[in-house]
Amino acid sequence: MNSHNKVVVVACEGQHDIAFITRILQVAGFVTKNDKIKNFPMPFNILFRKIAESMVLTDRKLGYQSPNYLLPCLALEKENSIVFLHNLSGDGRQDERSKLVKAYSELKGDDDFTKDLGYSFKFLFFFDADEEGVPARLNSIKEEFNLSVTPDNGIILPYNDHEIGCYVYHEKSSETGVLEDILLEHFSNKDEHLMGCVSEFLSQNALESERTKEMHIIEGCESRKGKSKYSEKKSKINLFGQLQFSGMNNSVIISKSDFLRKSDIDSCPQCIRIKEMF
């Protein structure tokens, strides 16, 4: 049997989720696995190599290109467990979740070789409740994976020969909200005066909605495209972080800021529930 026989595959909406979950797992004793693809245990090294080799670079445009979502962007390990975190870059992504589950599930078969590996797979999905609410998100997972019951938030259910679970971030004492609600509660508790100053600054300097859309220059002419990219909650997180790490993005702030401490994670009901899923 492989030393890492418990495999947890995590699908996240974005890099902020990955930073937050990683922080929780590090408090729980998990450590980052920085091995090269070829040094991961069988058969993951083969799976990841095939995915990487299938990425035809000449078909990609110049500039920033996000990696294939089937490749984990981070791996952590503890004792006989290994965790692969995947960034799906959004909250729809039903097809991507299906393909991700299929890719890992196919590693486990009835042949003697895969049986002897002794792997068990757990698939975890993380979402913001947003305005849809926790029950709606959980019900969508029930329908998507044809589960016999709607999963409770943070509770693991059997799924074929595997396990499945879902956690939906929400504001305290509410069925709606986002990850930033959890973070801002802890940030505010560290310095309520600073939170007041941050909130006041954003309120007094709010821009008109049109100016929160991306500016593009096409054939020498300026134009705004897309929807508003402003989020007051994300901006608050960022302003806290800029006092510590100038120029850093929210992912780094969530990963490294002491506005979120080990004691916060150890006592936060949502963090505890997430940790217990692993």
Mean pLDDT of the 113-142 span: 90
Q: What is the pLDDT of residue 63?
A: 64
CA distance 178 to 168: 8
Q: Say yes or no to pLDDT of 138 above 60.
A: yes
Of residues 54 and 206, which shows the higher confidence score?
206
Of residues 24 and 111, which shows the higher confidence score?
24
43 prior amide bond cis, ω within 30 = yes
Q: What is the pLDDT of residue 90?
A: 86
CA 251 vs CA 14, 56, 77: distances in Å? 9, 28, 21
Amino acid found at 185: E
Three-state SS for 257? coil
Q: Say yes or no to pLDDT of 11 above 70.
A: yes
Q: Say yes or no to pLDDT of 28 above 60.
A: yes
Centre a 10 Å sphere on the Cβ of residue 30 and count the other Cβ atoms it contains: 22
φ, ψ (nearest 5 deg) of residue 179: -55, -40
Q: Say yes or no to pLDDT of 65 above 90.
A: no
Fold exhibited by the domain 6-176+271-276 = Rossmann fold (3.40.50)
Q: Say yes or no to pLDDT of 1 above 50.
A: no
Q: What is the pLDDT of residue 118?
A: 79
User: For the chain, what's the residue count?
Assistant: 278
Residue range 238-258, pLDDT digits in tens = 999 999 999 999 999 999 999
Domain range list for the chain: 6-176+271-276, 179-250
- Its sign, for the CA torsion 181, 205, 212, 194, is negative
Of residues 112 and 222, which shows the higher confidence score?
222
Instruction: Give the pairing type, strands 31-32 and 214-218.
Output: unpaired
| Residue 226, both tokens | 């897309």
Contact 9, 86 (CB under 8 A): yes
Contact 169, 181 (CB under 8 A): yes
Q: What is the pLDDT of residue 67?
A: 73
Looking up tokens 């986002």 gives 178
Buried b (16+ CB within 10 A) or exposed e, 110-126: eeeeeeebebebbbbbb
- The number of C-alpha atoms within 13 Å of 16 and in the hemisphere containing its C-beta is 19
